[in-house]
């Protein structure tokens, strides 16, 4: 069952893939001393609690519903250290990435596990980041049993976007299709799918679109479905920016920077477009986020040769989506 629980942690993390930028996506499952599942949680967003802290909070909430946890990560950490009452003594954790040992924006998670008396911590991937690593060693020194390398291949796949944007640029292509492969513009997907796309837009450094998308769809390309900051825009077009209709909503977004070349300091870029745009840029992409709705239609499909390797597949009600890399 070790693989089963680690898989739960990995899948929970994938649900927040990209949204944790610039942090890695991480998932954590906690079992009580008897092996009963208490919580399945992930890191959801930069500045918010790490996966381990989220899972510990939820586990304590299950065991003692009257706990009134503070929201902010540091305060939550302190609260738990103070009030845990050894409720998680001899518990087991499954974490997709080695718990950190350093004081970053939030306190170290490895120390939390040892202070709370966890008996065993299973880890998928060791952290290669020199500042944050050493969690496994720290836990072992504190007498916690540690096993690393659980579903390591899957754990490494989860980390791929993080490792790319940490060292340079990570490029994601987003495409929304009908079940029979036609690109229908912005309203092919349901609201939940589009909310996920808007959440990604709200964290990226740059949204890259082609001139044709702008002229044809006249989109706003913001993050309104999650009430968040609209992304800066890079418009790749043979024509000059001046030639575009100034009434296209994307130009009216407040505080939006608009580029016609990709600025060097952009580390997480999302490309959105149709068949032509995908054909032009497919070889440069690190990953592909492809939504499918549950409808066939009479439209032409997106035609190109592209062999992909699925890394994760999820569902948003009737829509499904896959996160792929080039095969």
Return residues touching its own copies (CB under 8 A): 1, 4, 31-32, 34-37, 177-182, 290, 292, 294-310, 313, 315, 318, 320, 322, 324, 327
Joined together, the tokens standing for residue 312 give 């994760």
Joined together, the tokens standing for residue 247 give 């009434």
Closest of 91, 153, 124 to residue 6, by C-alpha? 124
Residue 1 vs 283, nearer CB to its own copies:
1
Residue 117 vs 322, nearer CB to its own copies:
322
CB 101 to its own copies: min, Å: 30
Pairwise CA distance, residues 42 & 26, whole Å: 6
Tell me whether residue 52 is one of the annotated catalytic residues: yes
Would the CA dihedral through 176, 182, 183, 186 be positive or negative? negative
CB 35 to its own copies: min, Å: 3
Closest of 62, 114, 61, 52 to residue 89, by C-alpha? 114
Residue 16 vs 321, nearer CB to its own copies:
321
Closest of 290, 271, 284 to residue 201, by C-alpha? 271
Name residues whose C-beta falls within 8 Å of residue 280's C-beta, 6 or more positions apart in sequence: 210
The catalytically annotated residue of 12, 52, 98, 272 is 52
CB 290 to its own copies: min, Å: 7
Residue 21 vs 321, nearer CB to its own copies:
321
Looking at the DSSP assignment, which residues form a beta bridge with residue 93?
30, 121
CB 154 to its own copies: min, Å: 13
Looking at the DSSP assignment, which residues form a beta bridge with residue 291?
176, 321
CB 182 to its own copies: min, Å: 7
Joined together, the tokens standing for residue 30 give 């906690």
Contact between residue 130 and residue 100 where contact means Cβ atoms under 8 Å apart: no
Contact between residue 323 and residue 289 where contact means Cβ atoms under 8 Å apart: yes
Residue 255 vs 327, nearer CB to its own copies:
327
Q: Which residues carry out catalysis? A: 52
């Amino acid at each position: 069952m070790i693989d089963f629980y680690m898989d739960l942690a990995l899948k929970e993390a994938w649900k927040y893939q990209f949204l944790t930028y610039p942090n890695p996506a991480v998932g954590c499952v906690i079992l009580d001393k008897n092996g009963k599942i208490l919580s399945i949680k992930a890191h959801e967003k930069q500045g918010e609690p790490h996966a381990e802290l989220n899972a510990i909070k939820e586990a304590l909430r299950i065991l003692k519903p009257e706990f009134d946890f503070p929201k902010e990560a540091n305060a939550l950490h302190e609260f738990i250290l103070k009030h845990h009452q050894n409720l998680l003594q001899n518990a087991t954790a499954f974490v997709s990435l080695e718990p950190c040992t350093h004081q970053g924006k939030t306190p170290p998670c490895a120390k939390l596990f040892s202070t709370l008396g966890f008996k065993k911590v299973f880890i998928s991937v060791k952290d290669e980041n020199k500042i944050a690593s050493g969690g496994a060693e720290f836990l072992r020194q504190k007498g916690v049993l540690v096993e690393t390398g659980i579903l390591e291949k899957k754990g490494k796949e989860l980390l791929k976007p993080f490792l790319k944007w940490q060292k340079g640029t990570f490029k994601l292509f987003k495409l929304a299709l009908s079940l029979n492969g036609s690109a229908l513009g912005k309203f092919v997907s349901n609201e939940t799918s589009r909310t996920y796309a808007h959440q990604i837009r709200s964290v990226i450094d740059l949204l890259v679109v082609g001139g044709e998308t702008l002229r044809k769809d006249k989109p706003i390309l913001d993050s309104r479905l999650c009430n968040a900051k609209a992304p800066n825009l890079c418009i790749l077009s043979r024509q000059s920016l001046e030639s575009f209709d100034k009434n296209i909503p994307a130009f009216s977004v407040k505080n939006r920077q608009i580029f016609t070349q990709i600025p060097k300091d952009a580390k997480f870029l999302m490309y959105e477009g149709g068949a032509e745009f995908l054909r032009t840029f497919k070889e440069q992409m690190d990953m592909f986020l492809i939504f499918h709705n549950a409808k066939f239609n009479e439209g032409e499909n997106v035609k190109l040769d592209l062999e992909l390797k699925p890394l994760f597949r999820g569902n948003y009600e009737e829509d499904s989506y896959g996160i792929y890399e080039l095969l």
